[in-house]
Amino acid sequence: MSLLVQKYGGTSVGSVERIEAVADRVSRFHGEGHDLVVVVSAMSGETNRLIALAKDIQDQPDPRELDVLVSTGEQVTIALLSMALKKRGIDARSYTGGQVRVLTDSAFNKARIQHIDVDRMQADLQARRVVVVAGFQGMDGQGNITTLGRGGSDTTGVALAAALKADECQIYTDVDGVYTTDPRMVPKATRLEKITFEEMLEMASQGSKVLQIRSVEFAGKYKVPLRVLSSFDEGPGTLITLDEEINSMEQPLVSGIAYNRDEAKITLVGVPDMPGVASKVLGPIGAANIEVDVIVQNVAANNTNDLTFTVHRNDLARAKAVLEANLDSIGAKQVLTADNIAKVSLVGVGMRSHAGVAATMFETLAKDNINIQMITTSEIKISVIIDERYLELAVRGLHTAFGLDKKSTSVAE
Amino acid sequence: MSLLVQKYGGTSVGSVERIEAVADRVSRFHGEGHDLVVVVSAMSGETNRLIALAKDIQDQPDPRELDVLVSTGEQVTIALLSMALKKRGIDARSYTGGQVRVLTDSAFNKARIQHIDVDRMQADLQARRVVVVAGFQGMDGQGNITTLGRGGSDTTGVALAAALKADECQIYTDVDGVYTTDPRMVPKATRLEKITFEEMLEMASQGSKVLQIRSVEFAGKYKVPLRVLSSFDEGPGTLITLDEEINSMEQPLVSGIAYNRDEAKITLVGVPDMPGVASKVLGPIGAANIEVDVIVQNVAANNTNDLTFTVHRNDLARAKAVLEANLDSIGAKQVLTADNIAKVSLVGVGMRSHAGVAATMFETLAKDNINIQMITTSEIKISVIIDERYLELAVRGLHTAFGLDKKSTSVAE
């Protein structure tokens, strides 16, 4: 029998009916002899309702008090789920983050977990109790309530699994696994049986919204096997695991295709070709708390360069203003911007040992007449920036070119 | 400058606007140099909403988990009020019952306070911070969340005032004080400047809903001056204080008139006149967890008695069934019931030193042809049970007879 940590997100516990369904699932696992720690989010909509209340009072709510406020969302869910389990004759006990000693630093709204006391949970598990824990929250060394920031319930699940040395951390959500790409865009997208932590990280950072980056990092660091499954259906989901646990025979060249429409492009024309210029450009951007994603510099012949980088679309106007204010000190001529771009990324640990992935990618895009504006690569990822209009065309073409399409059963005519 | 504990009930914090109004009031007191600990209830309606959620899952919600659930109500309010104070430039800090170490026993849903750690609050007060505490809740020795039961926020206020040796505990509510009787029934009812703890206790137990009995007992025991005021208007409210602090010159014979329509009457006809019979009757009633209020036994000539007592109307059917099941063992003839009764009580410490109050009461009722069905007295109270139809007539008549009517300014014709 295994020790399982199961995490249920907001839509999975979004109503009394959904909570009852979660209780059914938990009691089935419990009946099979598994030990269970269940981490839950706030009922969907609840966190937003609470934040709206806070914003009615303060435009920028006090960070400490905001955590006191929003942490009530998960507290409601743990109580209701524990009641639903009790109704099924299962001894369950709920704990807030503070009660189960999820000790964090004091960075309100985005705290980081420092330590988890497992004694109390282990005593409950020993007594065959189901332990129900409020995700997303903890307590700092002074006993203040903290939250881990949005999506932090996944992190709670993984951290508990690591601390308890659980056999698996199961993340229940509204999709039934990780797909080769977004099935809403590519109907032929297929669910992956397995994916490595590294690939999952790249998928997440490139726009796949299934799991929070932080929880994947955490799981990889502590080698916690992570499984993404649907709380609405049955099915094996996708296992996120260590590289070596995936048989190299089954290792595809490309595991998935991620995309992102949230970026905008900024080009600084006529930057002097001299040391320190890139930091002169990106220093003020960083100081303005604007994150930069892809950066490309083209060396030109006339001692000047064009420096191009991407930022989140919401930051575009601010980034442009920052650069224009610094144009003289940088010694550049002009700032150009474009927000009609999209990023497409191929992700796969198979790339490490195979040449030719980039060539196939560029050929595929060229065949569809899609111009590549920027390219960046890492060991297990190739990203290109293209015109947003061609995004769907590009993703579908690449999905086919790399053999990811669903094998449809042939239908007799 | 004083140390004040202010408690604001559910309607006083029922909306963002009301919370802002409370923040205005608190900041005014703070600006005058007072030190403040503010205890708040859940926003009105919130506790009922949470209980309804629980009952959707369990008819009898698990007591431990119910406390985890409903305690979120006050937690929301402390965060919002602290934000509203911060917005006004006042350093405020919120605490749940557990954080501020309101240590209780483990009787979930009706826990009793055992100890309060004041160190943390005193450090905050020293730093001129306003301390905002969630009422109604605490934590037991094992770190479980507990609640004090309905109305427990008043108790939290009084307990904090006692522990901190506050100068006054101010209970803000939707009425502007304690009245000689219910102003909705008697327009001439007047607000009392002062009333003793004992009188307030009798008023509360006889049906006046202004304060919870438990908080008055607590305040009396620890000699915490208690003031009831309106959070909607300005005004001095009513001070509840020790007997000796009320000048005997100003001591009225009767301080107030309470009434109660919630009771029903049960008469057991033909009970044998022998020792132990009353306990044979009331034993099974107590065993069925039914509370009995007034008890009267009339000794008759023929070796049988009629035993009459009152219970809450909601318990009448159950009490009748219990007695009918025990009729033979009691040796009684018949059970009669009536639910069209009302109780009227005169309350006043002045009665202790004055004879003739009862006589005046009975005369007044007789003059209006109101028949008295039962009478009980205590040192500072006389209660009668009458036909419910005459309740208003009785209360108005007594209010006038004991000189409690408002002195109306004469208006020139």
pLDDT band at A410 (very low <50, low <70, confident <90, very high): very low
Sorted by where each starts, the structural domains of chain A and their CATH numbers stand as 3-174 (3.40.1160.10)
Give me the residues paired with residue A347 across strands. A256, A381
Residue A354, number of CB atoms within 10 A of its CB: 12
CB-CB: which of A68, A79, A84 is closest to B75? A68
Chain A residue with Cα closest to B96 = A68
Cα separation, B62 vs B71, in Å, equals 14
Cα separation, A69 vs A73, in Å, equals 8
Element (H, E) at A51: helix A46-57
Query: Cα B206 from chain centroid?
Result: 9
Q: What per-residue confidence (pLDDT) applies to A413?
A: 40
Q: Which residue in this structure is represented by tokens 């905008």? A: A264
Q: Which residues contact B70 (CB under 8 A, 6 or more apart)?
A: B42, B47, B50, B51, B147
Cα separation, B217 vs B106, in Å, equals 21
The C-alpha of A75 sits at a distance from chain B's nearest C-alpha, in angstroms, of 7
Cα separation, A347 vs A205, in Å, equals 11
Interchain contact, B62 vs A71, CB within 8 Å = no
Chain B residue with Cα closest to A43 = B53
Q: What per-residue confidence (pLDDT) applies to A243?
A: 73
Cα separation, B296 vs B326, in Å, equals 20
DSSP SS3 for B230: strand
Cα separation, A344 vs A390, in Å, equals 10
Query: Cα B86 from chain centroid?
Result: 33
* Residues B324/B330, Cβ–Cβ less than 8 Å: no
* Residues B197/B242, Cβ–Cβ less than 8 Å: yes
Q: What per-residue confidence (pLDDT) applies to A224?
A: 93
Altogether, the residues listed in chain A come to a count of 413
Write the DSSP string, B13-68.
GSSHHHHHHHHHHHHHHHHTT-EEEEEE-PPTTHHHHHHHHHHHH-SS--HHHHHH
Chain A residue with Cα closest to B77 = A69
Average confidence (pLDDT) over A28-54: 96
Interchain contact, A57 vs B99, CB within 8 Å = no
Residue B56, number of CB atoms within 10 A of its CB: 17
Q: What per-residue confidence (pLDDT) applies to B269?
A: 87
Q: What is the largest CA-CA distance in chain B?
A: 79
Interchain contact, B65 vs A75, CB within 8 Å = no
CB-CB: which of B61, B80, B94 is closest to A83? B61
Q: Which residues of B touch A82 (CB under 8 A)?
A: 62, 65, 68
Backbone angles phi, psi at B125, to 5 degrees: -65, -40
The C-alpha of B175 sits at a distance from chain A's nearest C-alpha, in angstroms, of 26
Interchain contact, B65 vs A83, CB within 8 Å = yes
Q: Is the pTM of this model over 0.80?
A: yes
The C-alpha of B152 sits at a distance from chain A's nearest C-alpha, in angstroms, of 20
Average confidence (pLDDT) over A9-21: 96
The C-alpha of A196 sits at a distance from chain B's nearest C-alpha, in angstroms, of 39
Max mean pLDDT range (A157-166, A332-341, B228-237):
A157-166
Residue type, A238: T
Cα separation, A227 vs A170, in Å, equals 5
Chain A residue with Cα closest to B134 = A68
- State both tokens at A264: 């905008």
Q: What per-residue confidence (pLDDT) applies to A11?
A: 92
Q: Which residues contact A281 (CB under 8 A, 6 or more apart)?
A: A268, A271, A307, A323, A326, A330, A332
Cα separation, B223 vs B215, in Å, equals 12
Per-residue pLDDT of chain B (413 residues; tens, 9 = 90+): 799 999 999 999 999 999 999 999 999 999 999 999 999 999 999 999 999 999 999 999 999 999 999 999 999 999 999 999 999 999 999 999 999 999 999 999 999 999 999 999 999 999 999 999 999 999 999 999 999 976 689 999 999 999 999 999 999 998 899 999 998 899 999 999 999 999 998 888 777 777 888 888 889 999 999 999 999 888 999 999 887 666 655 567 899 999 999 999 999 888 887 777 788 888 889 888 898 988 887 766 667 788 899 999 999 999 999 999 988 888 888 899 999 999 999 999 888 777 788 889 999 999 999 999 998 888 889 999 999 999 999 999 999 999 999 875 444 44
pLDDT for A170-201, tens place per residue?
999 988 999 999 988 999 999 999 999 999 98
Angle subtended at Cα A25 by Cα A20 and Cα A28, rounded to the nearest 5 degrees: 125
Q: How far is CA A97 from CA A12, A64, A101, A135, in A?
A: 20, 15, 6, 7
Pseudo-torsion of CA A120, A126, A130, A132, nearest 10°?
A: 10
Q: What is the number of alpha carbons within 13 Å of residue A271 lying toward its C-beta?
A: 26
